[in-house]
């Protein structure tokens, strides 16, 4: 089986070379693509973010496996659900062994692998990567359509919309910076930015012209003087730049009581559950404002 898998990988790499040069996504009208079943019973997902929507939409008996990353609580909201199904590492041999009737991939899943699966007649659905709440609605509904799980999608979307509506009723307009330790901050075009705005805040990085994730160091924090810092929840014992940022004199001196946290899974993957982070942040921002921390900590502003 391994020899067969390796041979197929090699063939797929050669066949997919032209597609890879053109971009990560396959044409939706690929003539070699097999038509997905109307009610897939053996769904295999090869994308961490699509995994979480699949897990939310389907019962475990209809899922052969999801990626192993979804058993990590740092980056997955669906750990309990992922532990009820098999896991994969995105290998061709695993697809051949599990014999799914539908494989769900992401836009950036290896193009050669998608070409190979389609040429073998294995139906492949490529889920888009949502970076906004309207996009999350669209992606969830599109995936539910393919999985024949539309009835499961609407309650998820309704719960998301209810959280967004509740947060929108009392915006604090706090000026915040998502200073997550690595010298970068999210700007326009990122889900993280959308979460901050939906929580009723102003993202100073986007206000300063940042698009996507761009450099945002201690000097940028001083220059923009946000009211509050937002950081992702990390493993307490994990070394790294985030630990250094939390110990930075700027954070300790001015933002010791002006820092709130948001789970990383909320902004790593766009799912209906990302709205849970909006609720968490909106409540934290309201508490900050109630304490009078809605003005910058620097005297010159």
Domain borders along the chain are: 37-157, 171-290
Q: Which residues contact 123 (CB under 8 A, 6 or more apart)?
A: 33, 34, 35, 36, 37, 40, 101, 102, 103
Q: Is 189 helix (H, G, I), strand (E, B) or coil?
A: coil
For the ranges 12-26, 73-87, 122-136, the lowest mean pLDDT is seen at 12-26
pLDDT for the residue 239: 52
| CA–CA separation, 251 and 147 (whole Å) | 46
Same fold, 37-157 and 171-290: yes
Q: How many helices (H) and strands (E) does the chain have?
A: 15, 11
pLDDT at 253 over 50: yes
CA distance 144 to 142: 5
What is the pLDDT at residue 279? 97
Express the helix, strand and coil content of the chain in percent, nearest 5 each: 50, 15, 35
- pLDDT over 70 for what percent of the chain? 80
Average pLDDT over residues 274-285: 96
* Helix ranges restricted to H, 42-149: 48-57, 79-82, 92-98, 111-119, 133-147
- In whole angstroms, what is the distance from residue 188 CA to residue 207 CA? 9
Between 242 and 248, name the one with better pLDDT: 248
Distance between CA 2 and CA 289 in Å, rounded? 59
Task: Taking residues 93-101, report their average pLDDT.
Answer: 93
More confident residue, 30 or 208: 208
Q: What is the tens place of the pLDDT at every residue in 15-30?
A: 333 333 333 444 444 4
> For residue range 286-300, what is the model confidence (pLDDT) as tens digits?
999 999 988 888 755
pLDDT over 60 (residue 85) = yes
pLDDT above 50: residue 37: yes
The band of 182, judged by pLDDT with boundaries at 50, 70 and 90, is low
What is the C-alpha separation between 57 and 258, in angstroms, rounded? Answer: 37
pLDDT at 243 exceeding the cut of 70: no
Give alpha helix (H) positions in 199-273.
204-207, 218-224, 241-246, 249-254, 264-268
pLDDT digits (tens, 9 = 90+) for 49-75: 999 999 999 999 999 999 999 999 998
Mean pLDDT of 162-174: 97
Token readout for 220 is 């940028």
For residue 105, pLDDT over 80 is answered with: yes
Is the Cα dihedral 154, 49, 211, 216 positive or negative?
positive
Name the packing angle between helices 133-147 and 274-290 (round to 10°). 150
The correct CATH number of 171-290 out of 3.20.20.20, 3.30.365.10, 3.40.50.1980, 3.40.50.620 is: 3.40.50.1980
pLDDT at 1 over 70: no
**The pLDDT value given to residue 46:** 95
Question: Looking at 10-14, 43-47, 120-124, 186-190, which range is the least confident one?
Answer: 10-14
pLDDT of residue 35: 85
Q: What is the pTM of this model?
A: 0.82
Q: Which CATH architecture has domain 37-157?
A: 3-Layer(aba) Sandwich (3.40)
Mean pLDDT of the chain: 83
Q: Which has the minimum average pLDDT: 13-27, 130-144, 175-189? A: 13-27
């Amino acid at each position: 089986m391994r020899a067969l898998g390796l041979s197929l990988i090699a063939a797929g790499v050669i066949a997919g070379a032209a597609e890879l040069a053109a971009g990560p996504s396959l044409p939706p009208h690929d003539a070699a693509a097999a038509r997905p079943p109307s009610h897939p019973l053996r769904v295999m997902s090869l994308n961490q973010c699509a995994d979480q929507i699949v897990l939310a939409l389907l019962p475990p008996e209809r899922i052969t496996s999801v990626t192993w990353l979804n058993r990590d609580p740092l980056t997955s909201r669906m750990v309990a659900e992922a532990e009820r199904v098999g896991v994969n590492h995105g290998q061709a041999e695993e697809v051949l062994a599990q014999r799914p009737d539908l494989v769900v991939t992401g836009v950036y899943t290896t193009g050669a692998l998608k070409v190979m699966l389609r040429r073998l007649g294995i139906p492949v659905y490529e889920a888009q990567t949502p970076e906004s709440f309207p996009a999350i609605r669209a992606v969830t509904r599109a995936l539910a359509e393919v999985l024949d799980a539309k009835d499961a999608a609407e309650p998820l979307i309704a719960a998301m919309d209810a959280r967004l509506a509740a947060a929108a009723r009392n915006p604090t307009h706090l000026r915040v910076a998502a200073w997550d330790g690595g010298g970068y901050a999210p700007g326009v075009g990122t889900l993280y930015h959308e979460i901050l705005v939906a929580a009723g805040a102003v993202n100073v990085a986007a206000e300063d012209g940042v698009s996507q994730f761009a450099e945002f160091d201690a000097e940028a924090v001083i220059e923009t003087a946000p009211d509050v810092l937002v950081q992702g929840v990390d493993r307490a014992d994990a070394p790294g730049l985030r630990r250094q940022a939390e110990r930075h004199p700027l954070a300790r001196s001015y933002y010791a009581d002006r820092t709130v946290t948001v789970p990383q899974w909320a902004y790593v993957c766009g799912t209906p559950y990302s709205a849970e982070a909006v609720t968490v942040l909106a409540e934290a921002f309201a508490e900050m404002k109630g304490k009078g921390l809605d003005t910058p900590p620097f005297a010159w502003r």
